[in-house]
Structure 1
Amino acid sequence: MRTRNCWLRALGACLLLAGEAAHAGAVLDRIRASGQITFAHRESSVPFSYLDANKRPVGYAIDICLRLAEAVRREIGAKALTPRFLMVTPANRIQSIAEGKADLECGSTTNNAERRKSVAFTVPHYIAGARLLVRADAKIDDVAQLNGKRVVSTQGTTPLKALQQLGRDRLLDFKIAEVPEHTRGVEMVERGEAEAFVMDDVLLYGLVASRPEPGKLKVVGKYVTVEPLAIMLSKDDADFKRIVDDEMKRLIRSREINPIYDRWFLSPIPPRNTALNLPMSYLLKDFWKVPTDVVWF
């Protein structure tokens, strides 16, 4: 019986190793075989990942992903690597990476412990915080003033979960509406269908800048959350992650990432050629002093 049990344990270990080997290199193998790298992108996560007037994916995270793709191309010795784009939503973006439909998610996704169960993240490219978007004439500057009022946030996002938790912790009776994309949340505030839209402040500024009448909206309130935003990738290819992490760290340490940041946060951007005028925060500068994919959230 003891011999049989030892044999079964050995067989189980072999099967486990075989399973791990089947996953190892899966992303790089797919990229080598196809000559393509697939970017998951967003429709309206300004200025990280969104569609311009010609419906082309553009943004800060897209530009970073293009640099990461070039590092992958050099590493695998390919003459060329064609970017392929797959539009995702907050609800299906994690699934798109976990199921291998995309290789990099180039957006505004928060790296947190729950998501790390399914996917991996590289070094954060932005540190954001969730705040409130309200109408310019609204007398609201704090979450507590939304008690009993209708509030909107985007499905599958950490600000939505934080809002729900805040309501429980502070006994606030929010009437929370969930929308599939950020633009719809802004529209609800504009039309008076909701008193506030809760989302990462940088996204709110970008969304306001893209509206026909940006002066009718304002971003208010203290931070509801602190969000390390990072590019998402598969957990199942250590070599691919090493290439991505090494290139992110190189871009940060060499400061080659700074002009990319300036292009999207300090200069006029599509579609209305409006500048967000958001200098790099001290939070991000401090985090980049020792760039790492490790975050304590």
Structure 2
Amino acid sequence: MRLSHALLLAGLTATTGSVAAQADDLTGTLKKVKESGAITIGYRDSSVPFSYLDGDQKPVGYAYEICRKVAAAVKAHLKLDKLEVKLNPVTSATRIPLIANGTIDLECGSTTNNADRQKQASFTNTHFLTATRYVAKKDKKLDRIDDLKGRTVVSTSGTTNIRQINEANTARSMGLTILPAKDHAEAFLMVETGRADAFVMDDVLLASLVAGSKTPDAYVISGEALSKPEPYGIMLRKDDAPFKAVVDAATSALYKSPEGKALYEKWFTQAIPPRGINLKLPMSESMQKAFASPSDSADPAAY
């Protein structure tokens, strides 16, 4: 009797310990979300069509929708009855610090996944491929990188693009005046009003700004790119493998499914709010491959 009683107690202790261990197993973002009952999405206010404000000043967009689906996957993973999705605006300059300090859990915008940024944050599977080009007014007849020599150009502060144009300026002795803008909308306005000859940015963002401008036909995007194809990804905190695993599984399932393609078409080939502009950017062959085999690689050669 004593032996069986001891075995029973040992079994109960092991079971109780196992349950307690499961509760204690959560770390990092998953633990934070479980305990607070909330997850915080960082959104951009003018990165059309990825993350921007609609006519009611509410966040919408392709990347924003992906983040909402990730939040739903986190809720299901943690078996929560309800999960509050908090929203926090970010800019190019604040997005990485706000991820790092825990203010936001997912950064949903138009952020390039590259080796430098991977030292500061993690990325989930690529949701878009872009390249750095510039937009200028057609009457300036600018198309190649060297056409910008001696000109004034603008790019958004804190982006890969402003670094690339600074590097090109030095390497090619272009004599550029390079102005930083606080966001994409301000940068495009500088070209619109003649304060800058060109705006250097990811080509898809330039396409969205042109499509939404008062006179779309007055602008042209450069034929020559300053970069190889660059992957965009949802950013999350570095060194948080359990959370990343949940996010990766959610995005991989979405991108491989018909829903992923439908989501892409909704934002890139159809009229979008608030003014019904259409970017007319069908899914490229490289994007189709990226969706078929989801990857968080920062290497352009991987695509």
* Common fold: TM-score over 0.5: yes
Show the counterpart of 2:95: 93
Instruction: Kindly provide the CA deviation profile for residues 168-189 of structure 1, in whole angstroms up to 9, marking residues without a partner as x.
Output: 2222111100111001111111
* Structure 2 letter corresponding to 1:258: K
Show the counterpart of 1:15: none
**3-state SS of 1:256 partner:** helix
Contact 1:132 1:219 in 2 (8 A): yes
Show the counterpart of 1:204: 206
Instruction: Kindly provide the CA deviation profile for residues 131-182 of structure 1, in whole angstroms up to 9, marking residues without a partner as x.
Output: 1111132211111011111000001111111111111222211110011100
Q: 2:292 aligns with which of 264, 289, 297?
A: 289
Show the counterpart of 2:231: 228
Instruction: Kindly provide the CA deviation profile for residues 63-115 of structure 1, in whole angstroms up to 9, marking residues without a partner as x.
Output: 10111111100000001212111101100101110111000000000011111
What percent of counterpart residues are identical?
A: 42
Matches within 5 A, 1:40-51: 40-51=42-53
Show the counterpart of 1:60: 62
**3-state SS of 1:137 partner:** helix
Q: Distance in 1 between matches of 2:148 and 2:195?
A: 14
Q: 2:193 aligns with which of 185, 191, 194?
A: 191
Comparing 233-242 and 213-222, the one that deviates more: 213-222
Shift of 1:236: 3.4
Q: Distance in 1 between matches of 2:146 and 2:168?
A: 10
Instruction: Kindly provide the CA deviation profile for residues 109-133 of structure 1, in whole angstroms up to 9, marking residues without a partner as x.
Output: 0011111111100011000011111
* Structure 1 letter corresponding to 2:258: R
Instruction: Kindly provide the CA deviation profile for residues 37-68 of structure 1, in whole angstroms up to 9, marking residues without a partner as x.
Output: 11101111000001111110110000101111
Instruction: Kindly provide the CA deviation profile for residues 184-215 of structure 1, in whole angstroms up to 9, marking residues without a partner as x.
Output: 11111111111100000100111122223322
Contact 1:134 1:197 in 2 (8 A): yes
Contact 1:123 1:245 in 2 (8 A): yes
Show the counterpart of 2:118: 116
Structure 1 residues 23 and 80 mapped into 2: Cα distance closer, same or farther (>3 Å)? closer
**3-state SS of 1:199 partner:** strand
Matches within 5 A, 1:1-297: 25-225=27-227, 226-296=229-299
Q: Distance in 1 between matches of 2:210 and 2:76?
A: 39
Instruction: Kindly provide the CA deviation profile for residues 205-238 of structure 1, in whole angstroms up to 9, marking residues without a partner as x.
Output: 1112222332222212212123200000011321
Q: Distance in 2 between matches of 1:294 and 1:126?
A: 12
Contact 1:24 1:236 in 2 (8 A): no
**3-state SS of 1:240 partner:** helix
Q: Distance in 2 between matches of 1:152 and 1:221?
A: 18
Shift of 1:24: 7.0
Q: Distance in 1 between matches of 2:153 and 2:110?
A: 21
**3-state SS of 1:228 partner:** strand
TM-score, normalization: structure 1?
0.89
* Structure 1 letter corresponding to 2:121: V
**3-state SS of 1:178 partner:** strand
* Structure 2 letter corresponding to 1:280: M
Contact 1:148 1:175 in 2 (8 A): yes
Gap regions ≥5 residues in structure 1: 1-21
Structure 1 residues 150 and 195 mapped into 2: Cα distance closer, same or farther (>3 Å)? same
The higher radius of gyration belongs to 2
* Structure 2 letter corresponding to 1:47: P
* Structure 1 letter corresponding to 2:274: P
Gap regions ≥5 residues in structure 2: 1-23
Q: Distance in 1 between matches of 2:179 and 2:297?
A: 33
Number of residue pairs aligned between Structure 1 and Structure 2? 276
